[in-house]
A and B are shown apart, each in its own frame.
Chain A
Amino acid sequence: MSQRDDDFERRLRAMATEADPPPSLVYEAARAAFSLRDLDAELAELVADSLVDDPAVLTRAVVSDVRMLSFECGDVVVELDVETDPLSRLVRLSGLAVGAVGAVTIVRADDRSSVDLADGGRFVADGISPGPLRLELTTPDGRRVTTSWIHV
């Protein structure tokens, strides 16, 4: 590895750091993420994501395609459909929570809101702004379950 390349790389790094550094808000959000740790809830991991799993997505130009995600934690299964309004860019979440009761809470980095589960565990939430979110649920025996964070 040449000294000349190392020196050039250092100059370029100084440039990149000056021209396009991570905004301070990005650091703040990263530090604040720690406070969103939830040690009391069980994690329902993301087990399927149509955007990641379906190679055809890359070559298809479908306007109204729905992104489908699945989360699992033991008996709790959440199927989530994500649709983005192309005009407003607001997101509609609709889904099915199996093994959960009451309401589903949509957790954002700086905000929480709940929607009731209908018969059979269906739920809908409209007008969600883009960004990271997770869902929080309660099992019939009172355990709390949270899904992995996703970026919608």
Chain B
Amino acid sequence: MAAATWHEGTIGPLLEAAAAGDSLAWDSLVSRFTGLLWGTARAYRLSTADAADVVQTTWLRLVENLGRIQDPERLGGWLATTARRECLVVLKKSRREPPVGDERWLDTVPDQRSAVDGALLVDERDSALWRVFDELPDRCRRLLRVLLADPAPSYAEVAEALDLPIGSIGPTRQRCLSSLRRLAVESGALDPGDLDLTDRTVSLGGEP
């Protein structure tokens, strides 16, 4: 697992310092976890505006709860849970508010799709791979989108963001990376040589 730059035991002191009023400590927490929160909102296919609101609401919730977080080393999980709940509120709201015109519809429909089409990746093969990524089955796309946050989240944080058992993250990750490689080879975004025996074996076992 990545996340090598943030060792266990670093979050507690930052949280404590922020609670005591240290804005630099706060900024460090923002740098550490905003990617995770953004990835979570995108995993649920929220539009840019909704994702931005969810991330901001999550940070505001932490501000009002500074000094009350039970287990500081699990702050990432607390933030991810808070963001997930806010994402579900947005999704329920958008189900309740039907479209009333094309323009509004465009405004309210999650625009992850256009984020994908419009994404300018310098490397053409990366662009092709990113499009394949977006077409993964939901379960895989969602898990990987959170996992690919920068800096890399822990499995515990990914589990909280998606409300999945932590023990399922590793095996699902492996299966989803394999699926992605196979789909990418089929669409020409990866070379057939990039597949190995495991990928082929998994493909015989059916879709996740």
Contacts and interface: CB of A to CB of B under 8 A. Distances in A.
Interface of A: 1-2, 4-6, 8-13, 15-23, 25-27, 29-31, 33-38, 43, 49, 51-52, 57-58, 60-63, 65, 67, 84, 86-87, 89, 109, 130-132, 134, 146, 148-151
B173 interface: yes
Contacts of A11: 126
Interface of B: 1-2, 18, 23, 26-27, 30-31, 34-35, 37-39, 42, 48, 51-57, 59-64, 66, 85-86, 88-90, 92-93, 95-98, 100-101, 104, 107-108, 115-116, 119-122, 126, 129-130, 133, 144-145, 147-150, 152, 170, 173-174, 177, 180-181, 196, 198
Given A29-B59, A33-B56, A149-B57, A21 B2 contact: no
Given A15-B129, A27-B30, A8 B60 contact: no
A8 B181 contact: yes
A130 to B, nearest CB: 7
Contacts of B149: 13, 16
Contact of B30 (A4, A13, A30, A62): A30
19 contacts: A4-B196, A5-B174, A5-B177, A13-B148, A19-B115, A20-B115, A20-B116, A22-B37, A22-B55, A27-B30, A29-B52, A31-B23, A34-B23, A35-B23, A52-B88, A62-B96, A87-B104, A132-B57, A150-B57
A43 B53 contact: no
B35 A86 contact: no
A52 B180 CA distance: 34
A33 B59 contact: yes
A148 B122 contact: no
A147 B127 CA distance: 44
A29 B38 CA distance: 13
B89 A151 contact: yes
A34 B63 contact: yes
Contacts of B150: 13, 16-17, 21
